[in-house]
Chains A and B, each alone.
Chain A
Amino acid sequence: MVAAGLLLCLLTNIYDSYAATSGNQIDMGTTAVFEDDEMSSKINSALGAIHDAEDSGADVSTLVDQFNIAIDQLRSAEGPDYGSCGSYEHCVDNANQIFASIVNDAKELGQNAEMKHYENVLKMLIYAVIIAFALSSLGVYLYGRYRSSELRRFLEMEVREN
């Protein structure tokens, strides 16, 4: 029994060390900071805010640029010399601040765009009513003129007998 237990322990250790030296240890050129739950939720919020603003009809080009700057900061956080930020914490803090400002700016842009959209819809409806009123007035007036001229022509007809 003891020998079997020792053998099992030995096999488990061998497997663990194999797993550690195989695929798991590949030094990949990826940004592991994206795997962090807190960062992932901030990225999600910023992206959701951009999409909401976009759906409202806002021009989100500046927000997209800001978002990509934040992503660059996260990439720098994973880099060997931290790019222009100086340290891992600084890079992540910068990215967090940018994501937070994106959420606020996107909300404002979205509200403005939504107001503008409603204004445009209202304008279109008012124009439609005005055009309908003008066309129907003109149509009825011209029809009335035509009928009265017909009547006048009928009344002014002369009866000639050959």
Chain B
Amino acid sequence: MDFNYMSYLKIANEFLRSKKFIIAFASLAALLLPAALISSAGEQKEEYLTMSTIGSSLKADNYFPNANNTVNISEPIKWQIKIYNGMDRSEFISLRLKVLNSTQTIPNDVSNSPSPSPELFEYHQLIPKNSEVAVPIEWSIIDIEKQESQVTIRTLMINGEIIDNLDIQSMNGQDLRIVLELWEYQNDTSDFSFKWSSNNHERSVWNQIWFNIKN
């Protein structure tokens, strides 16, 4: 038995020291070790944030209770704002709602700058990566002021909150729009930013829906 054991050991020793084995082992290890390291590292993918506004029927229609986009005073309008976080980490977002007339500046897709008008409503939420949230928005025009052909929105109600002292003017209550902007919190500035970066490109997300006021 001892003789066999020693002879096997000798064969194994010779085998392991052989040039053929060393070359084969070194070649395979050189292939497999980097492959193992690469497979344990995370994959890189395109990062994005998306926002879509859908109507009360949870489809991209029925945005207004009537067949058209003319709204009555105190008539509640119900929308769902769907936000998807396709970034590689959870994102703290701010959804900002603005009401503009046709001449006020909207967000700029080229410079990725927001509309300079103040937000009337803001909603914050931390969204996990690869997740979608639906933010319900219910708004109505509470008070307007008419002076000849000019209609001025004075008070709005958004998700139960009264927003007054407004001064949003339009001719005959026509061509107004709700602008929804998606802002992302940036840790380095400790503030929300309208533009965010994905694969070294600056991006921004916003929606707008036109409406008229029945007067």
Binding site for B on A (CB under 8 A): 22-23, 25-31, 34, 40-41, 43-44, 47-48, 50-51, 54-55, 60-61, 64, 67-68, 71, 75, 117, 120-121, 124-125, 127-129, 131-133, 135-137, 139-141, 143-144
Contact = CB atoms under 8 A, between A and B. Distances in A.
B28 interface: yes
A138 to B, nearest CB: 9
Interface of B: 15, 18, 20-21, 24-25, 27-29, 31-33, 35-37, 39-40, 89-90, 92, 118-122, 124-129, 158-159, 161-167, 185, 187, 190-191
Contacts of A26: 118, 120, 163-166
Contact of B162 (A27, A44, A75, A137): A27
B25 A136 contact: yes
Q: Summarize B's interface: helix, strand, loop or mixed.
A: mixed
A51 B90 contact: yes
A64 B89 contact: no
A29 B97 CA distance: 10
B95 to A, nearest CB: 11
Nearest to B25: A136
B89 A71 contact: no
A25 B165 contact: yes
Given A29-B158, A47-B187, A131-B28, 16 more contacts: A27-B163, A27-B164, A29-B121, A29-B122, A29-B159, A29-B161, A29-B163, A30-B119, A31-B124, A41-B190, A51-B90, A51-B187, A55-B89, A121-B36, A128-B36, A140-B20
